[in-house]
Amino acid sequence: MDKKLELGRLASKMQTAKLPLKTNLVFGEGSPEAQVLFIGEAPGAKEDLLGRPFVGRSGELLTKTIEEIGWKREDVYITNIVKRRPPENRDPSPEEIEAYTPYLAKQIEIINPKIIVTLGRFATNYFLPELKISKDQGSVFKYEGRTIIPQFHPAAALRGTTVKNKFRKSFAKLPRLIKKIS
Ligand code: URA
């Protein structure tokens, strides 16, 4: 089946499924044929308002850094572990993460990306619970046959120059990595 259609069906299923959090669904966006999938934590206020992932300040930095490596935001796919905004931007609970897990798993199966870039601690530890983002960001890991690169969350990169520089440096590795595993 067509990937776009399959993703649309999955999004419709999520709209009617009994899931925690009552804010707007932020399913994800980008190319269904993307080779690279970026996964954040959960939508913030602006994302909730617009129904799109990473469209606030963190999103601006993410988009800019994607463009700096010569890619376009619309050619990758961007989503979150939890697809509705937790109140007051609190961390998603283990129960919320668990409830949204089957949908994320299906989304990954449909897109079938070559690389998953996990943005921040939540997304990284969802796949690889033993990793420490400060130590492991920018390194390459395997998870169920897929390549995973943990990166700092762009919100962390916005808080300080040192983290921002590391964030950009790790992004710069992506084009070569994708060529290597193609
Ligand atoms: N932070 C996230 O983790 N995801 C978004 O979509 C926006 C901010």
Q: Set out the domains of the chain in order of their start, with CATH numbers.
A: 3-181 (3.40.470.10)
Report pLDDT for 154: 98
Return the percentage of the chain with pLDDT > 90, whole number: 97
Report pLDDT for 1: 73
- The rounded Å distance from CA 175 to ligand 1 centre is 23
pLDDT in tens, 68-85: 999 999 999 999 999 999
Name the phi and psi angles at 142, rounded to 5: -115, 140
**Does ligand 1 come within 6 angstroms of the Cβ of 58?**
yes
Across 26-159, where does the E strand assignment appear?
29-30, 36-40, 77-80, 115-119, 141-143, 146-151
Residue with the two structure tokens 């390459």: 140
- Tell me the three state secondary structure of residue 83: coil
pLDDT in tens, 98-146: 999 999 999 999 999 999 999 999 999 999 999 999 999 999 999 999 9
- The rounded Å distance from CA 176 to ligand 1 centre is 26
**Does ligand 1 come within 6 angstroms of the Cβ of 53?**
yes
